[in-house]
Amino acid sequence: MTKRDRNQTEQRILDAVGKIVVAEGFEAVGVNAVANVSGVSKVLIYRYFGSIEQLLAKYLEDNDFWLNTEFPVMQYDNVKDFSKAIFRAYIDMLRKSPALRKLYRWEFTTNNPAIEKLRERREQTALKIINAVSQQSGFSLDRVGGISTLITASVSYLYILSENCGVYCSLEINNDSGWDKLLETIDFMFDKIFD
């Protein structure tokens, strides 16, 4: 290219990964694809990152999914509002990040050290929140964990699916109206749970 600059080249490669992930998902990140999109010879991918696996690990590290995500840390007077806020934040995170949706999809078909690391961090964050809610509410860890699992899994599923499918179980998941209804449903549930 114009100038010799390893850092810039590495960044170009990483940027290409990001583009591919957002557009087609992690499944489509291959040496040739990255080389083409970045405009960099694929030899350099191996030279600078070792392998596609390691390149993706670096990408995940850089983009820091779930690692530094700051959730509302119990700045609410009551557990009910706190619970509602947590899942509102979770929904917002997935809404704003196509890469995160692609990451969750990728998890269904792939297992590797980078993914497992992310899962561990996610579990840690979840446990922290579950513990806090359990203590404040008096509900058992299993109870709070069950409810959390139910809602987060659901939201994740619907966001992943929404990229390919407009309606699920009568809910329009490809526009805001459906998500408003879902949010309202979650609020309703918490109203009933914390009566």
SS3 172: strand
Where does this chain bind DNA (CB under 7 A)? 1, 3-6, 8-9, 30-33, 39-44, 46-47, 51-52
DSSP H helical ranges for the chain: 6-24, 31-38, 42-49, 52-63, 79-96, 98-107, 113-137, 141-161, 176-193
Q: Per CB under 8 A, which of residues 16..35 are in contact with a second copy? A: 25, 27
Q: Name which of 154, 130, 121 is nearest 74 in CA terms.
A: 130
* Partner that binds at residue 4, options DNA, a second copy, none, CB closer than 5 to 8 Å by kind: DNA
If one asks whether residue 111 binds a second copy (CB under 8 A), the answer comes out as yes
- Taking CB under 8 A as the binding criterion, the range among 36-44, 52-60, 76-84, 138-146 that sits at the site for a second copy is 138-146
Amino acid at site 156: S
Beta bridge partners of 171: 168
Q: Per CB under 8 A, which of residues 169..188 are in contact with a second copy? A: 169-171, 181-182, 184-186, 188
If one asks whether residue 147 binds a second copy (CB under 8 A), the answer comes out as yes
* Partner that binds at residue 121, options DNA, a second copy, none, CB closer than 5 to 8 Å by kind: none
Nearer Cβ to a second copy (5/53): 53
Burial of 68: CB neighbours in 10 Å, binned 0-12, 13-18, 19+:
exposed
C-beta of 124: minimal distance to a second copy in Å? 10
User: DSSP states of 135-165 as a string?
Assistant: HHH---HHHHHHHHHHHHHHHHHHHHHTTT-
Q: Name which of 188, 132, 186, 134 is nearest 158 in CA terms.
A: 186
Binding site for a second copy (CB under 8 A): 25, 27, 105, 107-111, 119, 123, 126-127, 130, 141-143, 145-158, 160-161, 163-165, 167-171, 181-182, 184-186, 188-189, 192-193, 195
